[in-house]
Amino acid sequence: MSALPSTMNYSDKIPNNVNLSEDRTLQRALEQWQPNFINWWDDVGPEGSTNHDVYLRTAVSVDPQGWAQFGHVKMRDYRWGIFLNPGDAERKVHFGDSLGEKVWQDVPGEHRANLRRIIVTQGDTEPASVEQQRHLGLTAPSMYDLRNLFQINVEEGRHLWAMVYLLHKHFGRDGREEADALLQRTSGDQDNPRILGAFNEKTPDWLAFFMFTYFTDRDGKFQLAALAESAFDPLARTTKFMLTEEAHHMFVGESGVSRVIARTCQVMNELKTDDAQKIRAAGAIDLATIQRYLNFHYSVTIDLFGADQSSNAAIFYSSGLKGRYEEGKREDDHLLKGQTYKVLEVKEGQLVEKDVPMLNALNEVLRDDFIKDSVAGVNRWNKVIEKAGIPTRLSVPHKAFNRQIGALAGIKMSPDGRVVNAVEWAAKQDEWLPSSEDFAFVASLMGRVVEPGKFAGWISPPVMGINRQPIDFEYVRFG
């Protein structure tokens, strides 16, 4: 690291473009929060990683040269910065009841509680995923993957910072208390769990991790994109910048699953078999197991969008707090009053569509955008299978499959969209969702491989290294 003056300046430790050094109160509040953050990181952050120098991307400013600076860093010394995308002094509210007014730089009193809730909910997911992933470093399939895991971990940490900054800066004492609480809840904790269900699920193995980063971080993309439209300008600018980083997380998921599939297909072709047991015996993960993991993560993730009808969603939209995905690119009145949207429900054992007021169905609108985006990626996985000349295809299960939230919660449904009875569900569950045997099998493959350029037998090497480095680059230096 380059020489710095001996008096460490706080703005260097927390690179920021929010003039932190000029706001003494805020700086002091964050200085108090920071040691707790580091304690949290030490306690439930990536296990056994403290001494490694990891080839990480660090943001030191928001311009193209500044936000993707690569170098070997100890994760504990990562510079978790606070960045807002550049503002536009003329920006106007572009949806909801305040359409056409100037965006807000401060929190309007009447929206305070809702905004705080939105920010806290978003903020809560960031440390949660670090907690969920904390043991994965011990079973990384390669040094390259280990580095990607760590990159995600530090950036989730930075996203937590981003939300904590908003809480401290704009919500006074309540904000500080909420920021503290973010470090007190723990994923999966009986007494003090994370706010959203999917963030209390385990991420037991790397296939689950790749599915999580593909599906659940994509939920992050859509939530952040909807918040990036917000009339509350600091939130919009913060989330816009977070989106650029989220891309890498989805990349890890998409390319990770793709590489697992590629390896499976390779083994299938070498052995000329589609027998799951033979494929497993050869140390690869059979496509049916991959499909079950997919079913699980997809269904758990689409629950994250919330109930299909929600008056909160309507309020958030009308009051300008949270827009739709790519709100600015849509051509309608951006008020949505009197419009309707189709949602699903079960009537007399049948799935039926019904029209509900669009404003109340905005969670469903966002869920459908997410689904479209997810399906496109699953098709890219299918291309890998197709190229290998294997007839199987992966698909996302029906939207009503395995749901715990909204009108479809608890309905027994097959992945292809048939309502089934309890007996059939019980009989087929292990065909549709990963069984304890599947988990045990996948877990049995998880040995640590960290020699540069070496990969575990159940996954193919990536097409190219990070930041155009070679694949056998020393992404993590141990010791």
Partner 1 sequence: MDMAVEAGVINQHLIDPEICIRCNTCEAICPVNAITHDDNNYVVRADVCNGCMACISPCPTGSIDNWRKVLVTKAYSIEEQLSWEVLPAPLPEEQLVATPSLAAPATITPPVPAAAPAEAVFRSSDWGATVPPWSAARAFTNLYGPKNAVTATVVGNYNCTEAGFESETHHIVLDFGSMPFPVLEGQSIGVIPPGSDALGKPHVARQYSIASSRNGERPGYNNLALTVKRVTQDHQGNAVRGIASNYLCDAKVGDTVRVIGPFGHSFLMPNHPRSNIVMVCTGTGSAPMRAMTEWRRRLRASGKFEGGKLMLFFGARSQQELPYFGPLQSLPKDFIDIHLAYSRTPGAPKRYVQDLLHERAADLAELLRDGSTHIYVCGLKSMEEGVVLALRDVAEGAGLPWETLGATLKREGRLHLETY
**Closest CB to partner 1 among residues 119, 224:** 224
Tell me which H or E stretch contains 351. Answer: strand 350-357
Q: Which of 383, 427, 429 is nearest to 402 (CA)?
A: 429
What's the closest the beta carbon of residue 288 comes to partner 1, in angstroms? 25
- Both structure tokens of 45: 């952050």
| Structure letter (DSSP) for residue 92 | B
Chain-centroid distance of CA 302 in Å reads 12
8 Å CB contact between 14 and 81? yes
Any alpha helices (H) in 228-286, and if so which ranges?
A: 233-271, 276-281
Residue 328 engages partner 1 in binding (rule: CB under 8 A): no
Tell me which H or E stretch contains 427. Answer: helix 422-432
Residue 69 engages partner 1 in binding (rule: CB under 8 A): yes
Residue 422 engages partner 1 in binding (rule: CB under 8 A): no
Residue 58 engages partner 1 in binding (rule: CB under 8 A): yes
Region of 303-311, 373-381, 403-411, 422-430 interacting with partner 1 (CB under 8 A): 373-381
Residue 372 engages partner 1 in binding (rule: CB under 8 A): yes
Among 116, 194, 221, 322, binds partner 1 (CB under 8 A): 221
- Both structure tokens of 33: 């929060």
Among 25, 35, 65, 410, binds partner 1 (CB under 8 A): 65
Among 24, 25, 35, 63, binds partner 1 (CB under 8 A): 63
Q: How many residues bind partner 1 (CB under 8 A)?
A: 47
The whole-angstrom separation of Cα 279 and Cα 288 is 11
8 Å CB contact between 424 and 411? no
Among 156, 246, 303, 368, binds partner 1 (CB under 8 A): 246
Tell me which H or E stretch contains 54. Answer: strand 53-58
Among 84, 182, 250, 366, binds partner 1 (CB under 8 A): 250
- Please list, in sequence order, all residues whose beta carbon lies within 8 angstroms of the beta carbon of residue 161, skipping any fewer than 6 positions away: 14, 37, 80, 81, 82
The whole-angstrom separation of Cα 189 and Cα 181 is 14
Helices and strands counted in the chain (H then E)? 14, 5
Among 38, 409, 440, 464, binds partner 1 (CB under 8 A): 464
Among 23, 34, 36, 60, binds partner 1 (CB under 8 A): 60
Residue 266 engages partner 1 in binding (rule: CB under 8 A): no
**Closest CB to partner 1 among residues 54, 130:** 54
**Binding-site ranges for partner 1 (CB under 8 A):** 1-5, 7, 9, 11-12, 58, 60-61, 63-73, 221, 240, 243-244, 246-248, 250-251, 254-255, 372-373, 376-377, 380, 383, 463-465, 467-469, 473
